[in-house]
Amino acid sequence: MDLRRPRGTCLGTASTGRPQAIVSAVKRLRRRLEGVEGVGIETVRGVGYRLVLADRAERG
C-alpha cells in the first residue's frame, strides 16, 4: 500500500510527516480498543483504515 495516498486523503493536504507514523498510530489505537466490545479498526487494502462498530442488535 502506498502510505502517502491515505495521508493526503485524510488530511486534505500534503503532509511532511513520516508515512510510518500512520501505521504506528493505528497500531496504538488498536491496542487501546482491544478491551472495548464491538469496536475495531479494519485495514482496507489499497485505501487505508476503517472504524468498525458492531450493530447494537448484534451485541444483544
pLDDT digits (tens, 9 = 90+) for 27-44: 999 999 998 999 999 999
* Percent of the chain residues topping a pLDDT of 70: 63
* Residue partners of 20: CB distance under 8 A and separation at least 6: 3
Interval 10-27 mean pLDDT? 75
3-state secondary structure (DSSP) of residue 52: strand
For residues 11 and 40, give the distance between their C-alpha atoms in angstroms, rounded to a whole number: 21
